[in-house]
Amino acid sequence: MQRRRRGLTLVELMTAIVIVGVLTTIAIPRFWRIREHAFLATLQSDLRLLAAQQELYQDRANEYAGSLGLLPDFHPTSGVTVALTAATSGGWAAVATHASLNARQCGLFYGSVAADAAPPATRSGVVTCN
């Protein structure tokens, strides 16, 4: 009596490889989109935190902070760069970028600052991303 060999045939192995390849081509682009949305959510969160810190500073000093150094409790998330682009006694503007996002940014402005100081924001108090 001969022993039966155990294992996969070449056809079964090739079928499994094709299935894994198809699943990979579907999953990887979806993963990148989800990752990009997470980074954009981080930018929005950091700008909202900056808005809260600016309001606290304005309550104490009767003006908005002209630099991030004046806001000791504001710390952007790792990989995020936040820049104050304008600050007056009547308003402020900021943009945020992430090191892993190419040419994408979020902007926010409050008060009497021109909307073009924080592209792509177009409405005061609304975080907008491109």
Query: What's 77's DSSP letter?
Result: P
Please give the order of strands across the beta sheet that includes 80-88: 80-88, 91-98, 105-111, 128-129
How does pLDDT run across 80-100, given as a tens digit for each residue? 999 999 998 899 999 999 999
pLDDT for the residue 102? 86
In the chain, how many domains are there?
1
The per-residue pLDDT of the chain, averaged, comes to 92
CB–CB of 91/113 below 8 Å?
yes
pLDDT for the residue 109? 95
Q: With a threshold of 0.95, does the pTM exceed it?
A: no
Mean pLDDT computed over 68-77: 95
Whether residue 4 lies inside any domain: the answer is: no
Q: Indicate whether 104 pLDDT > 90.
A: yes
Whether residue 1 lies inside any domain: the answer is: no
Q: By three-state DSSP, how is residue 15 classified?
A: helix
pLDDT band at 114 (very low <50, low <70, confident <90, very high): confident
How does pLDDT run across 43-69, given as a tens digit for each residue? 999 999 999 999 999 999 999 999 999
The backbone torsions φ and ψ at residue 106, rounded to the nearest 5 degrees and listed phi first, read: -120, 145
Whether residue 5 lies inside any domain: the answer is: no
Tokens of 31: 């993963």
pLDDT for the residue 7? 80
Whether residue 77 lies inside any domain: the answer is: yes
Report how far residue 119's alpha carbon sits from residue 114's, in angstroms, rounded to the nearest whole number.
Answer: 10
Torsion angle defined by CA atoms of residues 70, 72, 77 and 79, in that order, rounded to the nearest 10 degrees: 50
pLDDT for the residue 1? 60
Sequential DSSP letters for 39-64: HHHHHHHHHHHHHHHHHHHHHHHSS-
Range(s) of the domain holding residue 80 = 10-129
Whether residue 47 lies inside any domain: the answer is: yes
Report how far residue 111's alpha carbon sits from residue 99's, in angstroms, rounded to the nearest whole number.
Answer: 29
Whether residue 73 lies inside any domain: the answer is: yes
Whether residue 20 lies inside any domain: the answer is: yes
pLDDT for the residue 16? 94
